[in-house]
Amino acid sequence: MNINDPQTGHFYANVPAPFQAIKKVEVITGGNSALYGSQAFGGIINFIPNEFEKKTIEGFLHRGSFNSIRSGFNSGFVYKNMSTGNYIEYQKSDGYISKLDYEIINNHSYLKMVSEISSHKIGLGFQAKNFGALDFYGAYNSYEQNRGLFIYIKNKIFYTNQIYFELNGSYRFHKDKFILTRNDPSVYT
């Protein structure tokens, strides 16, 4: 799915999935328009999601300088031909200088069902990202609030082990609220 935003290029990294939800990243260079659409003429970046193989519950908490915190909770459940997973991550920092603070919430959840003749997966990713943008848009104490949603469905119906019908679909939504002056949002939003 194309995740480019026509507004500006600085939202390309707003992938609504915590780091631990990504198993690997494939970078495929060169023309890929025939497979991935007209925007893939220079190459693609393919995020391969992580899937739980057994019942899992895990969490983490990291603290750092500038009052930074990164915490997360992951859970997975596997039963016979069904698996589900949920990844949640929270990040916050005061920033290395005043007015460059940030707060980010990432979530990715999926449900997968597999049988001898088919496999089905539905997933949902959400991201809320608020951050200070001091002097980014000029000499202003600016602030941005981003929201992202990503929903996908993947279906495979097997005729043989090597011949199958695949039907995939996805939807992406991105919203950016720009506040020129954080102290007085009514000036321009």
Quote the percentage of the chain above a pLDDT of 90: 44
What CA–CA distance (Å, rounded) separates 47 from 108?
Answer: 13
Q: Please give the pLDDT value at position 172.
A: 85
Q: Please give the pLDDT value at position 1.
A: 56
pTM of the model: 0.81
Which regions in the chain score pLDDT beneath 70? 1-13, 33, 189
Residue identified by tokens 């198993």 is: 23
| Beta bridge partner(s), residue 37 | none
What CA–CA distance (Å, rounded) separates 131 from 21?
Answer: 23
What CA–CA distance (Å, rounded) separates 84 from 54?
Answer: 10
Within its chain, how far is the Cα of 40 from the centroid?
19
Q: Please give the pLDDT value at position 9.
A: 57
pLDDT in tens, 110-130: 999 999 899 999 999 999 999
